[in-house]
């Protein structure tokens, strides 16, 4: 119950933020702008609209996730509301969980609005609606939920600027981990291969949550792999949130 | 106090005007730049792809749009396309399932840039990357039929295209004709007519019209480009 109250308050606070609206409006303008871009292309308009739309949702979603996640604890300290909250009969882990769920709700609304915009645009252009497109948007949301958890973990012990930097670095590393492993297997020595292997399993494998190619080209998506990817993301998010809770429990606020 | 109050708006106006004048000057310099040097550096796809963090599809789209502009600009100016082949190679490596760079790129390489080897190589790369698509074997068959006049190879590609889903109705007819080793001119007319009807690009359409007119002059007015199709004798 307490977690739900904190989550709802976090959501209300986030949706009052004007920067969030600015990002959202900009993303929707970019989505609409892709229709102008396709007029100077030859053929392949549907593909370009879907590609650009999914990229827009991904990039602006990343901005929102990083922006919201990294300000999680620092904002509360800055406004001194944290001291009031932790003095109440509420566990610190409940506070972190509530905050995180509030951010996920905010992200859901934002990605939902952008996703509906893209699906609407694809419908206008193609005359049909695509379930695959919805699936790709859902997987982008899942990726952003994971990114928010990363941002929140760093926010639990670091400044917003550093947290944002670390989050973006981990986002990049998460997309490169499979390639690093491949390069190490081809060119590296035994130690490099071992390091790449460790990093591959330790870093979030974000490329597993990328369904853009399959969606745009209409390639069959294996249900089992997809389900496993969802479970993988849930486990990874759980680990990150638990780590953030553990750090926040030990943090000294004076 | 009043002077400093006026200074900021005045400096603002000067800065804005200065930036507009400089932008115009840079724009004029851009217009004078040597054509054909748009892409000074086209990176290797194998190195670039991981760095795009999963956005390689968008990168291929944007490069394809650039290629279309590049072809259009050079078609209207020097008619030289020194970087076309490399740019198409990069676009198709970034997104191997994106058919348009293979299909239209093949036409550009073949008829505008006069690089048949590069065109065939591009189409073969596309056919290998998209084994379930009829379009690329179809285009390869068209090349061997119309340009190389290697009917055995044309037949081989079209026979393959016929087995793939979504192929056009006229393909089995072409295969039958090739088996009979007759009616090559009529098939050629139908191929060009089909390209003329389906092309969404003015250059390709103009090219197809030229070929139709040429074939008409050689074989008599058996076909029109008004959508009526070839007339049976």
Q: How buried is residue A179: exposed, middle or buried, by Cβ count under 10 Å (0-12/13-18/19+)?
A: middle
CA distances from A40 to A165, B82, B101, B142, B207 (A): 36, 22, 14, 27, 20
Residues in B touching A42 (Cβ below 8 Å)? 68, 100, 104, 200-201
Residues in B touching A219 (Cβ below 8 Å)? 97
Residue with tokens 């509360």: A76
DSSP code string of A169-234: HHHHHHHHHHHHHHHHHHH--HHHHHHHHHHHHHS--GGGG--HHHHHHT----HHHHHHHHHHHH
How many of the other CB atoms lie within 10 Å of CB of A80? 8
pLDDT tens digit sequence for A63-88: 999 988 888 888 888 778 878 887 78
Contact (Cβ atoms closer than 8 angstroms) between residue B171 and residue B138: yes
pLDDT of residue B35: 47
Most A CBs within 10 Å: which of B55, B61, B99, B112, as the mutation test of the A interface? Answer: B61
Query: Is A207 at the interface with chain B, CB within 8 A?
Result: yes
How many of the other CB atoms lie within 10 Å of CB of B79? 10
d(CA B211, CA B96): 30
Contact (Cβ atoms closer than 8 angstroms) between residue A68 and residue A111: no
Contact B100/A42, CB-based, under 8 Å? yes
Query: Is B207 at the interface with chain A, CB within 8 A?
Result: no
**Widest CA span of chain A, in angstroms?**
63
Which H, E and C letters describe chain B, residue by residue?
Answer: CHHHHHHHHHHHHHHHHHHHHHHHHHHHHHHHCCCCCCCCCCCCHHHHHHHCCCCHHHHHHHHHHHHHHHHHHHHHCCCCCCCHHHHHHHHHHHCCCCHHHHHHHHHHHHHHCCCHHHHHHHHHHHHHHCCCCCHHHHHHHHHHHHCCCCHHHHHHHHHHHHCCCCCCCHHHHHHHHHHHCCCHHHHHHHHHHHHHHHCCCHHHHHHHHHHHHHHHHHHCCCCCCCCCCCCCC
A128 backbone φψ class: left, alpha, beta (φ>0; ψ -120 to 50): beta
Residues in B touching A41 (Cβ below 8 Å)? 61, 64-65, 68
Contact A55/B55, CB-based, under 8 Å? yes
Q: Which of B11, B233, B228, B210 shows the shortest CA–CA distance to B111? A: B210
Most B CBs within 10 Å: which of A42, A173, A185, A209, as the mutation test of the B interface? Answer: A42
pLDDT of residue A230: 93
Contact (Cβ atoms closer than 8 angstroms) between residue B101 and residue B198: no
Query: Is B57 at the interface with chain A, CB within 8 A?
Result: yes
pLDDT tens digit sequence for A100-116: 999 999 999 999 999 99
Is it the case that residue B36 has pLDDT exceeding 50? no
pLDDT tens digit sequence for B115-138: 999 999 999 999 999 999 999 999
The whole-number average pLDDT for the span A204-225 is: 87
Query: Is A140 at the interface with chain B, CB within 8 A?
Result: no
Half-sphere exposure of B191 (CA within 13 A, CB side): 26
Is it the case that residue A2 has pLDDT exceeding 90? no
d(CA B202, CA B195): 12
Mean pLDDT over each residue of chain A, to the nearest integer? 87
Give the residue extent of every domain in chain B.
44-105
pLDDT of residue A80: 80
CA-based nearest residue in chain A for residue B103: A43
pLDDT of residue B4: 64
Most A CBs within 10 Å: which of B48, B55, B108, B135, as the mutation test of the A interface? Answer: B55
CA-based nearest residue in chain A for residue B203: A42
Residues in A touching B58 (Cβ below 8 Å)? 51-52, 55
Most A CBs within 10 Å: which of B57, B63, B133, B199, as the mutation test of the A interface? Answer: B57
The rounded percent of chain B whose pLDDT value lies above 90 is: 35
Contact B54/A43, CB-based, under 8 Å? no
Read off the tokens for A247. 């750090």
Contact A51/B58, CB-based, under 8 Å? yes
Q: Which of A42, A207, A216 sits opposite B104 (nearest CB)?
A: A42
Query: Is A132 at the interface with chain B, CB within 8 A?
Result: no
Query: Is B201 at the interface with chain A, CB within 8 A?
Result: yes
Please count the residue pairs, one from chain A and one from chain B, whose beta carbons lie less than 8 angstroms apart.
Answer: 61
* Residue of higher predicted confidence among B228 and A231: A231
* Most confident segment among A8-12, A78-82, B160-164, B203-207: B160-164
The complex scores an ipTM of 0.78
Residues in A touching B200 (Cβ below 8 Å)? 42-43
Give the alpha-carbon dihedral of A31, A129, A233, A247, to 10 degrees.
Answer: 40
Give the residue extent of every domain in chain A.
2-250
């Amino acid at each position: 119950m307490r977690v739900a109250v904190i989550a709802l308050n976090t959501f209300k606070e986030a949706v009052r933020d004007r920067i969030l609206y600015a990002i959202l409006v900009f993303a929707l303008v970019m989505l609409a702008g892709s229709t102008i871009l396709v007029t100077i292309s030859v053929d392949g308009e549907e593909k370009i609209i879907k590609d650009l739309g999914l990229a827009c949702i991904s990039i602006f979603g990343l901005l929102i996730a990083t922006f919201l996640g990294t300000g999680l604890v620092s904002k509360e300290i800055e406004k001194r509301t944290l001291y009031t909250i932790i003095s109440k009969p509420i566990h610190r882990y409940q506070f972190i969980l509530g905050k995180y769920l509030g951010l996920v709700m905010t992200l859901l609304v934002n990605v939902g609005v952008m996703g509906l915009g893209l699906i609407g645009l694809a419908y206008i252009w193609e005359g049909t609606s695509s379930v695959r497109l919805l699936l790709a948007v859902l997987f982008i949301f899942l990726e952003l939920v994971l990114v928010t958890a990363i941002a929140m973990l760093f926010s639990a012990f670091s400044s917003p600027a550093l947290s944002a930097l670390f989050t973006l670095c981990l986002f990049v590393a998460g997309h490169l981990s499979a390639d690093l492993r491949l390069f190490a297997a081809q060119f590296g020595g035994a130690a490099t291969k071992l390091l790449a292997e460790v990093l591959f399993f330790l870093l979030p494998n974000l490329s597993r949550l990328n369904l853009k190619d399959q969606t745009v080209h209409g390639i069959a998506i294996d249900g089992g792999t997809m389900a496993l990817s969802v479970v993988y993301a849930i486990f990874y998010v759980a680990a990150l949130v638990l780590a953030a809770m553990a750090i926040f429990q030990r943090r000294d606020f004076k | 106090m009043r002077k400093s109050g006026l200074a900021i708006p005045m400096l603002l106006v000067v800065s804005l005007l200065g930036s507009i004048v400089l932008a115009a000057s840079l724009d004029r310099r851009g217009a004078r730049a040597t054509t054909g040097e748009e892409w000074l550096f086209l990176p290797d796809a194998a190195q670039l792809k991981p760095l795009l963090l999963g956005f390689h599809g968008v990168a291929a789209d944007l490069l394809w749009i650039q290629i279309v502009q590049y072809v259009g600009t050079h078609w209207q100016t020097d008619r030289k396309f020194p970087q076309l082949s490399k740019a198409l190679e990069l676009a198709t490596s970034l997104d191997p399932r994106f058919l348009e760079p293979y299909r239209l790129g093949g036409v550009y390489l073949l008829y505008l840039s006069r690089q048949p080897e590069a065109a065939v190589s591009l189409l073969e790369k596309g056919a290998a990357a998209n084994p379930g698509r009829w379009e690329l074997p179809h285009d390869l068959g068209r090349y061997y039929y119309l340009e190389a006049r290697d009917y055995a190879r044309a037949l081989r590609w079209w026979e393959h295209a016929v087995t793939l889903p979504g192929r056009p109705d006229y393909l089995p007819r072409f295969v039958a004709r090739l088996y009979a080793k007759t009616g090559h001119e009529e098939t050629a007319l139908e191929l060009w007519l089909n390209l003329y009807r389906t092309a969404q690009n003015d250059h390709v359409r103009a090219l197809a019209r030229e070929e139709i007119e040429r074939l008409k002059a050689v074989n008599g007015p058996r076909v029109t480009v008004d959508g009526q199709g070839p007339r049976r004798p």
